[in-house]
Structure 1
Amino acid sequence: MRAGVNEVTQNLAGCLGEDFPNVRANSMTTKLPVPESITAVDQPQSMFRIATASLVGTTIEFYDFLIYGTAAALVFGPLFFPSLGASAATVASIATFGVAFVVRPLGAILFGHYGDRLGRKKTLVTTLLLMGGSTFAIGLMPTADTIGAAAPILLVALRALQGLALGGEWAGAALLTSEYADHGRRGRYSMFPQLGPGLGVALSSGTFLVTGLVMSPESFATWGWRVPFLASAVLIAVGFWARLNIAETPAFVKTIARNEQAKLPFADALRNQWRQVLLGGGMLSMTFGSFYIAIVFLTGYAGQTPGVGHLGLARETVLIVNILAAGVLSAAVIGSAIWSDRIGRRRVLLAGTAFGIVAGPLAFTIMQPGSAISFFVAMSLLMLVLGIPYGPAAAYLPELFHTRYRYTGAGMAYNLAGILGGALPLIVADPLIKAYGGMGVAYFLSALGVLSTGCLLLLKETKDVAIDADTVAAPA
């Protein structure tokens, strides 16, 4: 127990900046302790532990991230923006959800630095605690009725901390599995962090569904919405335990042993592989767009009075559809990740982005006011658009970058996609749906599909890259 507390203290101290003087003073000559290596005998059990820690961690991260999105769509408008009116307040609350996407690249740079300098494990423990602390704090926050204009300001600040944490989370979780997995099974094992969004959606929607069913609408709006945020403390404890009980990745161990860790991973990644950062971000922009339009935007609009873009469905119906659609997403992630080990990451990714060009218009054509079945079919199409390319992504992006700055490079590409496909669609969706109806949003998703396909065509296959060697698959 004492060793665990000491390790947590060291993690938090490092994240507060105490390592920066050493980085500046010693740069490439800093000799870090070599973590324990993984032997061939330990590998099966190790992969189980690594996959579990990666899955639990990203599930918790996305749960925390998405309960904010669900609350923003359902209750945050009148609680934190009461003076704007019902419709404008919903738009404003959803806009605060997009704040995290702006901050996420900073999280990728900050935690990528530590992940490439000090190790994947310690950094991931820190991002988990930061996400958990900010989420728990949102559950305790007073609303505008109590503290006035300070309420939305504090809400945005805590949302920014969530974005900072998630910006450093995904790349580290992806590296845990991709840098441990045997050659030829990297796609299979790298699917585990990719299951986090689907399970996070199911947990967040399920929590709001239960709290909404067991209490009156008045109680839910007054205090019931806080329960999912406060309940995250239990999940954080589980993820914390899982991540403390893993070893450092073999690829990073080799980098330390050869004393090849980057002096400034951010600068090296941009200087040497800026094209992979930009193309990788563009490649995943469509997957982010379909996911956040479906889970955040449509969760709010599907439950409103029938009209332009509104389906008039009950809140419980929308949440149940989200849970079912999360199952479709998880199935697509599993199938595409395994298939990428057989035919290659790039082919599977191209199949997903090409499908994304037509899926948006098809989904919005299918949706009909008052029809839960049509809403489920449309949501399932959008989840397939995410799941097919998202499954191989946790293997593909790390395979694009050098080991010494892989955490930073993969994180920057992933979070650039978050801005293009997450923040931007949520900003333009409301004006588009008012001006052109649902098809305005649909064709915007198609445009993201064209962008993702074009970027992917400029990248090469990476399935056969040796991930513990200092080689990468450069753009074509």
Structure 2
Amino acid sequence: MSATPTPAHPEGFTPTGTIATHADRRRVVFATVVGTTVEWYDFFIYAQAAALVFATVFFEPAGAGFAAILSFASVGISFLFRPLGAFLAGHLGDRYGRRVVLMLTLILMGVATTLVGLLPTYAAIGIAAPILLIFLRIVQGISAGGEWGGAVLMAVEHAPKTKRGLFGASPQIGVPLGMLLASAIMAIMTVIAPGDAFLEWGWRIPFLLSFVLILVGYYIRRRVEESPVFTEIAERREATKMPIVQLFRKHWLLVLIAALVFAGNNAVGYMTTGGYIQGYATNPEGPIGLERGPVLWAAAAASVVWLLSTWFAGWVSDRIGRRTTYIIGWLLMLPAIFALFPLVNRGDITSLTLALCLLAVGLGFTYGPQAALYTELFPASIRFSGVSISYAIGAILGGAFAPTIAQAIVQATGSTSGVTWYLTAMVLIGLTATLLLKDRSGIPLGPDHEAEQSVSPIYGLAKA
């Protein structure tokens, strides 16, 4: 096909001129939900195990307190490698398509997770055990860094203009679904393998289950067509040769602000998805000492609330705009943060569940619109790089070491109030970054509108 520009396609049409049917779009939504659920199940099952068993089976020689910090740090270290995954996936996704990247990241994550389930403990092979564990967590981080951008673009670039928030919520709800699945399976294993049996072999089963889930996800994803926006770019032979160079040369400030938006959400979210609250509530030497099973079910219940609020926020952002939806989310999150530890520290499972569910509402409102928001911020030719790298940097600034920071604050001060103020600061950073961005809901996404897309969405700037 000639590289000569062609007229913009009407909403609902693919680059070849055929109508994108309801069945096509439903298949895309289903595939993105299933794929991201499997990916994030893998990612979160590690965080659950880090909170519950890894300090004992991999880091115990460091001593009780420091072993817990090392265990949470192993959760966070993967975030440092998310940008590498985002760079690689962004380059491949902008050059060769969204679909191929999604297949690669799914396989990479599944293999790493399955191998964690087969790792010998420190007692069996010594220092090699935590080294191999951290290596596999790094592989998970590389995969997670590339997964999100591809899933988001497949969903949003297939969507009708008036339903991008709703379609974009489909990969987003895969995250709470992954958390729900991880929490539920871990909780079931505490019943099947209680006490010492859980430490000996029970925790491994959820990791080994990943192999089956990855086969399901792979089968579903390979049946989905490439994003229509990338198909048009490829047909015109207009793929950018060095998309990352173009991104940072023209849009570096936008990448930073978009990353800070996500950082606020991610820091708060990783109190549960990073396993901190679960570890804090079940620590037998801590102030609460609840049983593992009920705490995991509380996290699962909060995941349902997070899922519903994420879906609703995506839907409502199509009506009131991404920016307004985000602002509502930040305002909901602030009182939930101040209620979190007073409720958790009451020491009963009902209060813990209520605290996590309240937090989940604000998390959903600042997560549901993110896919559409990010997609509408960046030009088509460098969009995969833009959304992936912004997301990865935001994860480092936000959730990467949030559980580790929280653990260190509590151990240093003997109080959770410092954690509350830390989370409040992160939310205010996210709110400020949101206020700096213009709402671009409904902006054309195709390559015909590259000039319009390249105008900066940052208040006060005419060019990116």
* TM-score computed with the length of structure 2 as normaliser: 0.92
Query: What's the CA shift string for 1:160-179, capped at 9, x where partnerless?
Result: 00000000000100000110
Following TM superposition, by how much is the alpha carbon of 1:120 offset from its aligned partner in structure 2, in angstroms? 0.3
Cα distance in 2 between the residues matched to 1:313 and 1:393: 34
Query: What's the CA shift string for 1:269-321, capped at 9, x where partnerless?
Result: 111111211000001112111111123111111111374xx422110111010
Alignment counterpart, residue 53 of structure 2, candidates 75, 80, 96: 75
Q: Which residue does 2:296 correspond to in 1?
A: 319
Q: Which residue does 2:315 correspond to in 1?
A: 338
Alignment counterpart, residue 278 of structure 2, candidates 299, 313, 328: 299
Cα distance in 2 between the residues matched to 1:38 and 1:197: 33
Structure 1: which amino acid aligns with 2:294?
Answer: T
Report if the CA contact (8 A) 1:306-1:369 is conserved: no
Following TM superposition, by how much is the alpha carbon of 1:42 offset from its aligned partner in structure 2, in angstroms? 4.2
TM-aligned CA distance change 1:464 to 1:141, over 3 Å: same
Are 1:169 and 2:152 matched, yes or no?
A: no
Q: CA RMSD in A?
A: 1.6
Following TM superposition, by how much is the alpha carbon of 1:263 offset from its aligned partner in structure 2, in angstroms? 1.2
Q: Which residue does 1:276 correspond to in 2?
A: 254
Structure 1: which amino acid aligns with 2:333?
Answer: G
Following TM superposition, by how much is the alpha carbon of 1:37 offset from its aligned partner in structure 2, in angstroms? 5.3
The percentage of aligned residue pairs carrying the same residue is: 37
TM-aligned CA distance change 1:280 to 1:347, over 3 Å: same
Following TM superposition, by how much is the alpha carbon of 1:436 offset from its aligned partner in structure 2, in angstroms? 5.7
Are 1:348 and 2:325 matched, yes or no?
A: yes
SS at match of 2:187: helix
Cα distance in 2 between the residues matched to 1:204 and 1:38: 41
Cα distance in 2 between the residues matched to 1:85 and 1:432: 18
Q: Which residue does 2:337 correspond to in 1?
A: 360
Alignment counterpart, residue 377 of structure 1, candidates 335, 354, 359: 354
Q: Which residue does 1:150 correspond to in 2?
A: 128
Query: What's the CA shift string for 1:303-348, capped at 9, x where partnerless?
Result: 11374xx422110111010110001101110111100000100100
TM-aligned CA distance change 1:193 to 1:448, over 3 Å: same
Cα distance in 1 between the residues matched to 2:145 and 2:95: 17
Q: Which residue does 2:435 correspond to in 1?
A: 457
Report if the CA contact (8 A) 2:440-2:457 is conserved: no
Cα distance in 2 between the residues matched to 1:230 and 1:166: 19
Alignment counterpart, residue 75 of structure 2, candidates 78, 97, 103: 97
Structure 2: which amino acid aligns with 1:401?
Answer: F
Are 1:474 and 2:452 matched, yes or no?
A: no
SS at match of 2:443: coil
Structure 1: which amino acid aligns with 2:249?
Answer: R
Are 1:51 and 2:34 matched, yes or no?
A: no
The aligned length equals 440
Structure 2: which amino acid aligns with 1:299?
Answer: Q
TM-aligned CA distance change 1:38 to 1:124, over 3 Å: farther
Q: Which residue does 2:40 correspond to in 1?
A: 62
Report if the CA contact (8 A) 1:103-1:160 is conserved: yes
Cα distance in 1 between the residues matched to 2:339 and 2:387: 32
Cα distance in 1 between the residues matched to 2:115 and 2:265: 30
SS at match of 2:271: helix
Query: What's the CA shift string for 1:411-446, capped at 9, x where partnerless?
Result: 111111111111132231112223161121111111
Report if the CA contact (8 A) 1:294-1:382 is conserved: no
Cα distance in 2 between the residues matched to 1:322 and 1:368: 16
Q: Which residue does 2:11 correspond to in 1?
A: none
Cα distance in 2 between the residues matched to 1:409 and 1:239: 25
SS at match of 1:140: coil
SS at match of 2:282: coil
Structure 1: which amino acid aligns with 2:305?
Answer: V
Alignment counterpart, residue 93 of structure 2, candidates 106, 115, 122: 115
Report if the CA contact (8 A) 1:358-1:446 is conserved: no
Q: Which residue does 1:329 correspond to in 2?
A: 306
SS at match of 2:73: helix
Cα distance in 1 between the residues matched to 2:130 and 2:35: 28
* TM-score computed with the length of structure 1 as normaliser: 0.90
Cα distance in 2 between the residues matched to 1:56 and 1:62: 10
Q: Which residue does 1:14 correspond to in 2?
A: none
Cα distance in 2 between the residues matched to 1:364 and 1:315: 18
Report if the CA contact (8 A) 2:73-2:401 is conserved: no
Following TM superposition, by how much is the alpha carbon of 1:367 offset from its aligned partner in structure 2, in angstroms? 2.2
Structure 1: which amino acid aligns with 2:278?
Answer: T
SS at match of 2:117: helix
Cα distance in 2 between the residues matched to 1:96 and 1:306: 22
Report if the CA contact (8 A) 2:188-2:293 is conserved: no
Mean CA deviation greater in 354-363 or 263-272: 354-363
Cα distance in 2 between the residues matched to 1:474 and 1:451: 18
Following TM superposition, by how much is the alpha carbon of 1:39 offset from its aligned partner in structure 2, in angstroms? 5.5
Following TM superposition, by how much is the alpha carbon of 1:215 offset from its aligned partner in structure 2, in angstroms? 2.0
Q: Which residue does 2:366 correspond to in 1?
A: 389
Following TM superposition, by how much is the alpha carbon of 1:475 offset from its aligned partner in structure 2, in angstroms? 0.8
Query: What's the CA shift string for 1:25-79, capped at 9, x where partnerless?
Result: xxx9xxxxxxx95765442111111001100111011100000000001111111
Structure 2: which amino acid aligns with 1:257?
Answer: E
Gaps of 5+ in 2: 4-13, 460-464
Query: What's the CA shift string for 1:363-416, capped at 9, x where partnerless?
Result: 222223421111111111221221111000011001100111111110111111
Structure 1: which amino acid aligns with 2:382?
Answer: Y
Spell out structure 1 runs of 4+ moving beyond 6 A: none
Structure 2: which amino acid aligns with 1:385?
Answer: G
Gaps of 5+ in 1: 1-27, 29-35
Mean CA deviation greater in 322-331 or 41-50: 41-50
Mean CA deviation greater in 288-297 or 317-326: 288-297
Following TM superposition, by how much is the alpha carbon of 1:260 offset from its aligned partner in structure 2, in angstroms? 2.0
Structure 2: which amino acid aligns with 1:184?
Answer: T
Q: Which residue does 2:6 correspond to in 1?
A: none
1:173-184 equivalences under 5 Å are 173-184=151-162
Report if the CA contact (8 A) 1:292-1:426 is conserved: yes
Cα distance in 2 between the residues matched to 1:367 and 1:211: 24
Cα distance in 1 between the residues matched to 2:325 and 2:158: 22
